[in-house]
Amino acid sequence: MRNLEAVRYKTRLDHLFQKSDGLSDDLELQAQWARYLCVLVAGFLETSISAIYSQYAEATAAPTVARFVAVRLDRFPNPNMERILQLARSFDKDWGDALASQTEGEIKNAIDSICSNRNLIAHGRDTGITLARTNSYYQQAIRLVEMIERQCAGE
């Protein structure tokens, strides 16, 4: 991962996941941490995807176009796979198609679950999410962000 905003967010999350390993056996405390980390993983996706595409536009487009992209992506809420694929296709149809085929299955399910659980948490509903599951989703989110970053770098 090369985008500075994505790296910063990832570093913060890595540290928090490490801290969660040392939690007591208090299941309620673990459930609260799982919910908190799920919301942060959704934020990681929002921030990283926005930052990577904005950085791409800044490097490849006229300043006015880059500014437009940055303003439009300043807020990229509820990053489920469908919205992410639509965004990728708005830059390059082939990017979206490739991303769709590369993420089918485990990554897609994890990203959609992050978004769904985040919305349930935000509305005060129970999710049943665990620290282990949140960490697993986070690992898939990292893979997705790295894929997007590679596409934007022409790799």
Tens of pLDDT, residues 112-139: 999 999 999 999 999 999 999 999 999 9
Which structural domains are found in the chain, ordered by start?
4-51+77-152 (1.20.120)
Residue 34: what residue type? A
d(Cα 81, Cα 79) in Å, to the nearest integer? 6
Over residues 5-64, the pLDDT tens digits come to 999 999 999 999 999 988 888 899 999 999 999 999 999 999 999 999 999 999 999 999
Quick one: pLDDT at residue 22? 84
d(Cα 147, Cα 152) in Å, to the nearest integer? 9
Quick one: pLDDT at residue 8? 98
- Tokens representing 96? 């979206």
Q: What is the mean pLDDT of residues 144-154?
A: 97
Q: DSSP 3-state assignment of 143?
A: helix
Cα 151-42-83 angle, rounded to 5 deg: 55
Residue 64: what residue type? T
d(Cα 98, Cα 73) in Å, to the nearest integer? 21
110, 141 Cβ separation under 8 angstroms: yes
Provide the residue count of the chain.
155
Confidence of residue 152 (pLDDT cuts 50, 70, 90): very high
Over residues 65-115, the pLDDT tens digits come to 999 999 999 988 899 999 999 999 999 999 999 999 999 999 999 999 999
Task: Work out the number of other CB atoms within 10 angstroms of the CB of residue 105.
Answer: 9
Quick one: pLDDT at residue 21? 87
Quick one: pLDDT at residue 76? 87
Burial of 41 (C-beta count, 10 Å sphere; 0-12/13-18/19+): buried
Alpha helices in 3-123 (DSSP H): 4-21, 27-60, 63-72, 81-91, 93-103, 106-122
Quick one: pLDDT at residue 108? 98
Q: DSSP 3-state assignment of 120?
A: helix
pTM of the model as a whole: 0.95
Confidence of residue 145 (pLDDT cuts 50, 70, 90): very high
